[in-house]
Amino acid sequence: MTKMRIAVLVSGGGTNLEALLNAQEAGQLPHGEIVLVCASSEGVYALERARNHGVPAVAVARKAMSQSAFETELNIKLAAYRVDVIVLAGFLSILSAEFVSRWQGRILNVHPSLIPAFCGKGMYGLHVHEAALQRGVKITGATVHLVNEIPDGGEILLQKAVEVLPSDTPETLQRRVMEQAEWVLLPQAAEMLCRNLAEENR
């Protein structure tokens, strides 16, 4: 069976990466294989997580270079590992429309809300959960989508709702959304995309 080669792009601790790696080791990614983890800065814990699972881990320091140079270096790394699919797992660097078009239909992103709610400029990480609590919503969740040129745009693949509790803080809500939605959906969506691409390549 053909396996799609996956690169996971990260910017921080890598909890979503850990969910993907655990899913792979549990046999839940039969059509995909994580062959590279690439961080947008040196020293983030996600790189250590990858190495703990025996996956090659590299950094392309975004702050040290222009957008063009950053994306050129990123593409060099992706080509070196013959990557088929990119999963953005807490990756905070913006990718250009040119980069996205080159990988059209092959980039997955997870967002910690039910798109179209609480997405767009400035809506990432804890900011999303702060906004949800300020709005007073009773239900939030997470979305995995294919990326297009519009941030948080593209085809929605999977969504999962999570209850907001009266006692929630942004931190407790973030944790529950990760545990109940992001860590469940991201491996499912990665397998779905890899399976579809593998079938197209047969």
Q: What's the Cα-to-Cα distance from 115 to each of 27, 66, 156, rounded to whole Å? A: 29, 30, 8
CB contact set of 97 (below 8 Å; sequence gap of 6+): 149
- DSSP tag of 11: S
**Confidence (pTM):** 0.93
The set of catalytic residues is 111
What are the tokens at 174? 């973030």
Please give the chain's pLDDT, 202 residues, in tens.
Answer: 789 999 999 998 999 999 999 999 999 999 999 999 999 999 899 999 999 999 999 999 988 899 999 999 999 999 999 999 999 998 988 899 999 999 999 999 999 999 999 988 888 889 999 999 999 999 999 999 998 766 566 788 899 999 999 999 999 999 999 999 999 999 999 999 999 999 887 7
